[in-house]
Structure 1
Amino acid sequence: MPPASEAPGKRSPLESFLGLFTEVRAGEGVTAVLLTVNVFLLLTSYYFIKPVREALILAMRGGAEYKSYMGGAIAVALLFAVPAYARVARRLPRNRLVVGVTLFFVSHLVVFYALSAIEAVQPYLGLLFFLWVGIFNMMVVAQFWAFANDVYSEEQGKRLFPLVGVGASTGAVAGSWLAGLLTDREAPLVDVYTMLLLSAGLLAVCALLSQLVHARESSRVPEAPPEPKAADKPKRGAFAMVLRHRYLWLIAVFSLLFTFVNTNGEYMLGRLISGDAKVQAKDEVSLADAVAWLAVPENEPKAKAYFEANQATDFAGLTFEGSRDQVAQALLIRERTKALISGAFSDFFFWVNLFGVLLQMFVVSRLVKYAGFKASFFVFPVIALADAVAMVVVPALAVLRIGKTAENATDYSLNNTLRNMLWLPTTKDMKYLAKQAVDTFFVRMGDVSSALLVALGAYLAWEVRAFAVANVALVAMWLVVAGAILKAQVALKAQRAAGQLED
């Protein structure tokens, strides 16, 4: 039910203020703010439960290994979740769908909170919750943008999506900061499980805001009747719809490729940061430091536990009494390495989020307005290509840190906005059904593809440069697909204008 752009009128003070970020016309301000606040709270709620997800799975024995395998499990789960969502979406009007699905996930958070108090469930809760979060965070975000696509016309979406995207960018930053503040290791304000209830509360507010947007837009412009479909055509599922339309499967391939490239880059960054951190930690922690640390009575049991856990691999043939100082030094090096890695990533994410918010607030809308959608669509892959080529030439952490900061900041701002704009000219069913399949399953398959490449690289003992070469090839394919998407979009618009577009 995208309303047509209203006739020019006098803008309210709110709309004049929003004009600092993008072009907002008279009558559009309130809905734009409601959607922006909605996605802000949605992302904040997700970042509230991320620490819970990490705490539950990493506290398990072998949790780090389980975590690395969960991408494939989530992809399999989405094969069932997406068709189930599609069946529900076909039966409900948009407000009941969006509100109902959001409250459905709210109820799950309450259930997980209750399960956290049952000791018998604890050994399995980490895996179950990690799987659930992998479905939740992809489906609710995809649903929000489908809803926004349904609210706005193509012309409105191109102007107002950059503003709505500010809510997503700032929500991620605010959620991370608040989660860190609330669960601070030194002085936590709430326990980790209470974060589930706080997240549930924010999601409930999101459901209310979605209903308000629907009510407001329905009162201004009555919801359009369903688009005519051939009576003898069977209703297709989400995946069948994607495969049927060239435009949709090109978006699916595009989503898989940019996720593949990004996840490869994250692997390279983690590998280089961890390698540098290990070297630095060994230089910083001396045997004298270990002796001084062992002099504190409560530290010796920690060293002994570390020795027993790693005797077979690191201390074969040794006894604890005969290697106390070396064991303590190894333990301190490990802890210092973890601290250096954590600090490096905290710094990296700070700059990524800062630049991402600034780009979203002041660059994205202007770039789309003055350079046009088509030119803007190639900015992100060109940055990713420059990053990959630079790593082929100089495979160093300093180079990758700069490249990945630019790449991720552009991904979280410009790319996130543009890839949601791709759905503006599609039908309602495509927005709610096919978009779920693309933004969940195909994005997750990009992560799975990267995991398979990393496994191959480990088997072949690849250096970081080899992964950069792989990214150059992948970005080249990505650029070809991006060009094909723009051509297919023209054809899809022509089909829809002629009344020939079927789901």
Structure 2
Amino acid sequence: MKHLSSKSDDPEGLRTVLHHEWLRTGYAVLAFFLLLCSYTMLRPVRDDMAVRFGADRLHWLFTGTFLCTLAVIPLFGAVVHHARRNAILPVCYGFLVLNLLGFCAAFRAEGNAWTAAAFFIWLSVFNLFVVSLFWSNVSDAFNAQEAQRRYGMIAAGGTVGAMAGPAITALVARYVSTSTLLATSAGLIFLATICMMALRNASPGDNGTSLRPVGGSIVAGVPLTLKLPELRGIALLVICLTTVSTVLYVEIISLAGQHYASSGERKTFFASVDLAVNLLAFGLQLAGTRFVVRHAGLALALSIAPVLMLAGLVVLGIRPTLIGFAAIQILHRASEYAFGKPGREMIYTTIGPEGRFKAKNFIDTTVYRANDAASAWLINLVRGAGWSAVLLVGLPAVLVWLVAAFRTGIRFDRRTDK
């Protein structure tokens, strides 16, 4: 897609360009707000289901999530192959809305444990899929320079939504059913779809490319990821990120189950952690993301999270407590939302449409959930032997993460500085 340059000798032309850039930014901010509000309304429910299922059996839920993700990839590839680029998101989001309405009916009929497990798996696939597809379309609407200016703001919009979601759930959960929450979530996704369609319409002219399908093989994302060094770097970052995330998640689920006897106490704890994560992430996104990327480069931005985790996991390996894990989890997720995620998305602005849709979706869903499952089994094995998953699994992953982050960021910085 061709983008208008913001560098113009014509003041009137410059004002027009900036107006359109701000308009696109506004649509993207609102859409991301609605999407993450939709997801985080339901996240505390999912986490409580994980506690009930048991920390020692979480690897089965992660495996189920991976298998479902694996099944989705060729279906999504077929949509990308046949549908116009500007129709991919409405088609996929519309399908997800229908899924949520189906769960509404299931929970209204007093769903059983199998329904709960199915919902845990579906929501775990859903949250990665909708966010990945959102950023695919955003990277189709912004160039690399615009991304450096606006992605922090767009991410902050999502963070506000991630704060609003749990707040809504906390306010109304006592008075409405789970099926009502699901229906509300479906409505928010529908509104987000409208915003993303408006974003596409407000994007600079692309000579009709958005009216043509991306084409290519339905599994083209796999060889493309292996071929391009930028995509290989992103995939390695995701593998390291998910390994550390899974270590922290399993440990927190285990300790929360030991410390809190009731479902209500656990939901309150998880909601408190989510709120702290999003408050910190929001501040960093507004004040830090753009400044760090534009003045220090993407290499430093991508390295912030692994540096923090390196220090945090050393402390947790020596003294593992629930409060300690919660604090490190807050730092981990906030730095990921403020620097890691926007940083990785900026790289996609330098890659073609097939990479932005097929390879990105493959990395964000299949690679992500495959490593989730593999890490969960490895962590279960290590914990079962009485060893520390933090020291034996988490620390090595953080060290690789730090090296991969710096190398991937440097490659982007050199390319965009030309």
Which interval holds the TM-score relative to the shorter structure? 0.7 to 0.9
Q: Which residue of structure 1 lines up, in the alignment, with residue 356 of structure 2?
A: 431
Q: Deviation per CA, 1:310-337, whole angstroms, max 9, x where unpaired?
A: xxxxxxxxxxxxxxxxxxxxxxxx45xx
Work out the CA distance in 2 between the residues paired with 1:340 and 1:254: 34
Q: Deviation per CA, 1:144-191, whole angstroms, max 9, x where unpaired?
A: 00000010111111111111001111111101111121113xxx1x21
Q: 1:106 to 1:386 in 2, by over 3 A?
A: same
Q: Which residue of structure 2 lines up, in the alignment, with residue 222 of structure 1?
A: 206
Q: 1:405 to 1:84 in 2, by over 3 A?
A: same
1:179 paired residue among 162, 169, 186: 169
Q: 1:390 to 1:123 in 2, by over 3 A?
A: closer
By how many angstroms is 1:134 displaced?
A: 2.3
Work out the CA distance in 1 between the residues paired with 2:54 and 2:314: 35
Alignment of 1:326-345 (within 5 A): 334-335=261-262, 344-345=269-270
Bigger mean CA offset, 143-152 vs 385-394: 385-394
TM-score, normalising length: structure 2: 0.87
User: Quick one: percent identity of the two aligned structures?
Assistant: 23
Q: 1:71 to 1:410 in 2, by over 3 A?
A: same
Q: Secondary structure at the match of 1:193?
A: helix
Q: Which residue of structure 2 lines up, in the alignment, with residue 48 of structure 1?
A: 41
Bigger mean CA offset, 106-115 vs 207-216: 106-115
User: Quick check: 1:138–1:440 contact (8 Å CA) kept in 2?
Assistant: yes
Letter in 2 for 1:70: L
Where do 5+ consecutive residues of structure 2 fail to align?
none
Q: Deviation per CA, 1:207-235, whole angstroms, max 9, x where unpaired?
A: 11111111121xx4234649xxxx9x977
Q: 1:148 to 1:485 in 2, by over 3 A?
A: same
Work out the CA distance in 2 between the residues paired with 1:346 and 1:51: 6
Q: Deviation per CA, 1:320-368, whole angstroms, max 9, x where unpaired?
A: xxxxxxxxxxxxxx45xx6765555444333222111111122111121
User: Quick check: 1:2–1:152 contact (8 Å CA) kept in 2?
Assistant: no
By how many angstroms is 1:271 displaced?
A: 4.4
Q: Which residue of structure 2 lines up, in the alignment, with residue 378 of structure 1?
A: 303
| 1:161 and 2:86 are equivalent in the alignment | no
Which structure's residues are more often helix, by fraction? Answer: 2
Q: Which residue of structure 1 lines up, in the alignment, with residue 123 of structure 2?
A: 133
Work out the CA distance in 2 between the residues paired with 1:256 and 1:247: 14
By how many angstroms is 1:262 displaced?
A: 2.1
Q: Secondary structure at the match of 1:377?
A: helix
Letter in 2 for 1:80: A
Work out the CA distance in 2 between the residues paired with 1:480 and 1:54: 32
User: Quick check: 1:139–1:440 contact (8 Å CA) kept in 2?
Assistant: yes
User: Quick check: 2:28–2:138 contact (8 Å CA) kept in 1?
Assistant: yes
Q: Which residue of structure 2 lines up, in the alignment, with residue 459 of structure 1?
A: 384
Where do 5+ consecutive residues of structure 1 fail to align?
16-23, 279-333, 498-503
User: Quick check: 2:300–2:409 contact (8 Å CA) kept in 1?
Assistant: no
By how many angstroms is 1:270 displaced?
A: 4.4
Letter in 2 for 1:208: I
By how many angstroms is 1:484 displaced?
A: 3.6
Q: Secondary structure at the match of 2:370?
A: helix
| 1:203 and 2:189 are equivalent in the alignment | yes
Q: Which residue of structure 2 lines up, in the alignment, with residue 319 of structure 1?
A: none
Work out the CA distance in 2 between the residues paired with 1:400 and 1:117: 36
Q: Which residue of structure 2 lines up, in the alignment, with residue 248 of structure 1?
A: 231
Work out the CA distance in 1 between the residues paired with 2:219 and 2:254: 43
User: Quick check: 1:169–1:413 contact (8 Å CA) kept in 2?
Assistant: no
Q: 1:392 to 1:109 in 2, by over 3 A?
A: closer
User: Quick check: 2:7–2:14 contact (8 Å CA) kept in 1?
Assistant: no
| 1:101 and 2:89 are equivalent in the alignment | no
| 1:92 and 2:83 are equivalent in the alignment | yes
Q: Which residue of structure 2 lines up, in the alignment, with residue 29 of structure 1?
A: 22
Q: Which residue of structure 2 lines up, in the alignment, with residue 314 of structure 1?
A: none
User: Quick check: 1:392–1:469 contact (8 Å CA) kept in 2?
Assistant: no
User: Quick check: 2:69–2:366 contact (8 Å CA) kept in 1?
Assistant: yes
Q: 1:221 to 1:83 in 2, by over 3 A?
A: same
Q: Secondary structure at the match of 1:147?
A: helix
Work out the CA distance in 1 between the residues paired with 2:309 and 2:95: 37
- Higher relative contact order structure (alpha carbons within 8 Å, sequence separation ≥ 6): 2
Q: Secondary structure at the match of 2:3?
A: coil
Q: 1:2 to 1:36 in 2, by over 3 A?
A: farther
Work out the CA distance in 2 between the residues paired with 1:107 and 1:236: 25
Q: 1:467 to 1:197 in 2, by over 3 A?
A: same
By how many angstroms is 1:192 displaced?
A: 1.2
User: Quick check: 2:81–2:218 contact (8 Å CA) kept in 1?
Assistant: no
TM-score, normalising length: structure 1: 0.73
Letter in 1 for 2:141: V
Work out the CA distance in 2 between the residues paired with 1:259 and 1:376: 18
Q: 1:236 to 1:136 in 2, by over 3 A?
A: closer
Work out the CA distance in 2 between the residues paired with 1:82 and 1:153: 26
